[in-house]
Structure formats: structure tokens, C-alpha cells
Amino acid sequence: MKYLKMIDIFGVQYKPQISLDEKEQKSILSGICSILVLVASFSYFIYVMNEWWSSKILPNSTNLMKVQNYSQIFYNEDALFEFCYWKYSNEQVDPFRFQRNILTPIGIYFINGIPQKPFSLLDQSQTISPYNTSLLRVDNLSLVQNSGFDNDLNDTTELMIVITSCNATLFDIGYECASDEEIKEFFEKSVNYISFWLNLKQYDPYSQKFQAVKKQYYLTFDSQISHQGQLILTQTQATIDTGILFSSSESKSFIYNAQLITSATTNQFWSTLLVKNSYLNLFIRLDPMSIDTQIVYPKLGEILAQVGSIMSILMTIQYLLNYYNEQLLDCDLVDKVLGFYFLDYIELKKSKDKKDLKICKELIAQAKKKLVYTNIIYELSRIQLFLINHFGRNQLYHTHQYGIQAKEEIKSSNCGQVFDNSITMIKVDVNRGQIEWHFSKEDFNLLSRGKANMFKNNEDLVRVYQEVDSASFQSIQL
């Protein structure tokens, strides 16, 4: 049990009362400031917790550029890119129409640099673009980069989008090409642009979701020059930790950005491969350089630490108020102590006379010294030694057994009165021979609590009272 008490971390300290029901010095000023500090601290705590719970506190984000010898993307439901003809006038026609087609968008996969079978991007179920033209896309898009040439992995796969003249060999039944006059009129009467949208993804830290961002490019083409382009896609591997107390990570890959490089050549440049003239060629491939993104949301411990740091600033007021209350308590105790000794102390304190103020200042300095704990023990030791000198250690030793019974009194009221009189009537010169003038080191603990353990039952207590009563009557007779 003794060792259990030693390791108790919930022990409390005994605080003696300054006055009745008051163990601490408090003031109205510190009470008002306490309310203000508590309200401000609690309000800030609620504010920060609300910001954290609603994900308005931005997470820590770290971006690291790294080289990936192998990476791939596959788009099944979503489209990585979309493109359409930019129609800025009602007189223009959509060159990607199915009937009397003028231009045919073709897709060609290149696997390890080897072109595969071309396929048409025209579709009867395709949607309409904002320019009221056909919106084209590539379904089931798959891109692979294998810059390490690892044979155990998939081969490098790139896609080339080619805008060429009408190619009936790629059409299904029901498709037909426009006449040469219509094709010639198309190139002569309009400024031709392809509007190309790249659907990127960005992580929104507030909603904790990925949002699509459309990055638009304008690509030109005409009947004389073939424009070449390389769209190099930068991939991102994002690791998002949304745990409250512990890590709870989720990883996802997406296209973060793209770089477009353009050049020009003749429209017969790809005629050997495509048999037809090409007006626009766009290579789409993955960049071996990627970005590793670490997104870590603040944990509950970090939020509490943030709140604690602000509260510590607010609680600086606590130190000032504690100092104020300490000074107030010190002054109050000094006034009470000096009031015990000097009847005219209050008048001296209120006096405006310099002489009185000087006397009051000296008394306050002496009272502060008197209130020092070691000085209090010293004065109590003088009283103890004084009592031993006049009454002897035997009588003081028996005071450990003095006590009062609440239910049954040992002495009658008359005996009690005689007992009180006997104490007050003892003279210094009575039985002086019995008084011990020599002080020994055992007298240091003569009045300590431990001396009372030698008598443990009520019979000893009654016997001591009787001995004290008898000694009191003898002293009166003397």
C-alpha cells in the first residue's frame, strides 16, 4: 500500500485556508479576465475545429519530380481528350460530318515505333460540341511508356491523331465523301481550327475529391501545310492521407499536365502510310518524368497543438493575474499581521505625513520578513523552548494525550474551570527545582505529532487527564 501511494499521480496538495472557505487569493479583475480568456480560448478552439472538420485547413503537400522507367494509363469510361471543328460562322460546314465527309479523323497506335492499323474516330452516336459540331474522342485509350525497354513489361504505346482527307476505306456502310468542289470550297472560304480539350485532373483539398480541368488548345490546318504536334503528358502519383489520428492513405494516378510541341511539314509527309494527304498530325505519349505528390491532412494532434499554442499566448494573461493576486495576498497578510501588533497601523497607512509613511514602510518590510516560513518556524521554536524552560518537558510531553470527547466529557464543568485556572496561576518560581534548564536535541521533536503514538487507548487518555487535574490542584495549594 505504501508503494501504491508513492506512485499515485492523482494526489492533491493540502491548502490551508486564508480565511473561512477561502484557500486562494482571488480578485474581481482576475475573474473578469478569466472569463474573457476562457471565452476567447473556447471560441478559437471551436473555430479551428470547425475549419479542420470542414477541410478548410489546407493539408501539407510535397511534390517530387522523379523518373519512371515504366508507366501506363487506361481510359475506359472517361475521355482523356476531346476535339472538334471550331465553327465560328453559320456558313461554315462541319468537315467531320458523316454524309459528304470532308475530313476524316484517324487514330493510329504506335507500338515500339511501329504503326498499327488505322481506325476512324467518327461515330454515329457522338455528341455535339459547344460550336455545334461533332465532338470526337478515343474510346478505351491506352498509353504505355517503357523507357527502360524491359521485355517483361508492356511495350511503349503511343497514339497519333491524324486529320486527313476523306478516306472511304475506313467508313462503314452509309458513309460517303464530299466532292472535290466541296472540299476546295471548304479550304478557301474559312479559317480552319481544331479545338482540342485535354481533360486533366486536379485534387481539391477542400472537398477531398478530384476535379476535372479542361485545358484547351487551338490547332490550325490548311490545304498546303501539314502541322505536326507532340502532346507529352505528365503523370502524377498522388498519395493522400486523410487519417484523423493515424495514417489512412489512398493512392491514385492521373494526368497532371501536358506539354505541346509543334512543327510543320508538307501534307504529303504521311501519304506513304496513309495513302491520303494529312493536314494535322498530333502524337500523344507519356513523359517518363512524373511527379510524386504527398498530400497529408493535419491530424487531430496537430490541430490541438495549434490551439494550444494560441491559448498559451492568451494564458500569458494568467501569469500577470497570478502575480497581481500574489501581491494582493501579500499586502493583505502584511496588513493583518501589523494590525495584530500595532493598534494605530491603519492610521499610519492612511496618513499622508512623510514621517508616518516612513514608519509604515519600515513596518511593512519587517512584516514581510516575519511572514517568511523559516522565520515562522523560528518563532514557534522560541515559544516551545520558552514553555520547556518554564514548565518542563514532562508536562509538555503529556500534551500529546490531551483531547476532547464530543459525546462524553471526562471532567465536570467545575473541574474544567479549575483546570483552566490552574494553568493560568502557575508561577515561574513554583517547583523550580523540578524544571529542567538543560535543553537536549530530543526537545526538537518534543511537540511533534509522532510523540502521540505512544498512547493509543482511551484509558491512557483518561489517566493523563486525571494526572493533569491532580497536578493542577497541587500547584494551586502551593
State whether 136 and 165 are in the same domain: yes
Q: What is the pLDDT of residue 342?
A: 85
State whether 76 and 215 are in the same domain: yes
| Domain assignment of residue 145, yes or no | yes
Q: Which long-range contacts (CB under 8 A, 24 or more apart) does 397-400 make?
A: 397/446, 397/451, 398/464, 398/467, 398/468, 399/447, 400/447, 400/451, 400/452, 400/454, 400/455
Q: Mind listing the pLDDT tens digit for each residue in 301-327?
A: 877 777 776 767 666 777 777 778 778
pLDDT at 158 over 90: yes
State whether 53 and 197 are in the same domain: no
C-beta separation of 476 from 426 below 8 A: no
State whether 131 and 260 are in the same domain: yes
| Domain assignment of residue 275, yes or no | yes
Rounded CA separation 464/380 (Å): 25
- Quick one: average pLDDT of 433-452? 54
Rounded CA separation 162/72 (Å): 22
With a CB cutoff of 8 Å and minimum separation 6, the contacts of 470 are none
Query: Considering 296, 331, 364, which residue would you say is the last residue of a domain?
Result: 296
Q: How many CB atoms lie within 10 A of CB 329?
A: 15
Rounded CA separation 34/7 (Å): 33
Q: Which residue has the cell 517503357?
A: 146
| Domain assignment of residue 14, yes or no | no
Q: What is the pLDDT of residue 436?
A: 45
| Domain assignment of residue 365, yes or no | no
Q: How many Cα atoms sit within 13 Å of 444 on the Cβ side?
A: 4
Three-state SS for 46? helix
Count how many residues are written for the chain.
478
Q: Mind listing the pLDDT tens digit for each residue in 166-218?
A: 877 766 666 778 888 888 888 888 888 899 999 888 888 888 888 888 889 99
Q: What is the pLDDT of residue 83?
A: 92
pLDDT at 109 over 90: yes
Q: Which residue has the cell 494529312?
A: 278
Rounded CA separation 285/305 (Å): 46
State whether 73 and 196 are in the same domain: yes
State whether 154 and 177 are in the same domain: yes
pLDDT at 424 over 50: no
DSSP secondary structure string for all residues of 282-313? EEEEE-SEEEEEEEEPPPHHHHHHHHHHHHHH
State whether 289 and 435 are in the same domain: no
* pTM metric for this prediction: 0.57
State whether 278 and 292 are in the same domain: yes
| Side chain identity, residue 85 | Y
Query: Considering 245, 264, 296, which residue would you say is the last residue of a domain?
Result: 296
| Domain assignment of residue 80, yes or no | yes
Query: Considering 280, 314, 348, which residue would you say is the last residue of a domain?
Result: 314
Cβ-in-10-Å burial (0-12, 13-18, 19+) of 105 comes to buried
What total of structural domains would you count in the chain?
3
Per-residue confidence at 478, pLDDT binned at 50, 70, 90? very low
Q: How many CB atoms lie within 10 A of CB 108?
A: 19
Per-residue confidence at 275, pLDDT binned at 50, 70, 90? low
Percent of the chain with pLDDT over 70: 78
Q: Mind listing the pLDDT tens digit for each residue in 36-71?
A: 877 887 888 888 888 888 777 778 888 888 888 888
- Quick one: average pLDDT of 106-127? 85
Q: What is the pLDDT of residue 110?
A: 93
| Domain assignment of residue 307, yes or no | yes
State whether 143 and 240 are in the same domain: yes
Range of the domain at 172: 63-296
State whether 244 and 377 are in the same domain: no
| Domain assignment of residue 279, yes or no | yes
State whether 307 and 174 are in the same domain: no
C-beta separation of 390 from 428 below 8 A: yes
State whether 113 and 124 are in the same domain: yes
pLDDT at 298 over 60: yes
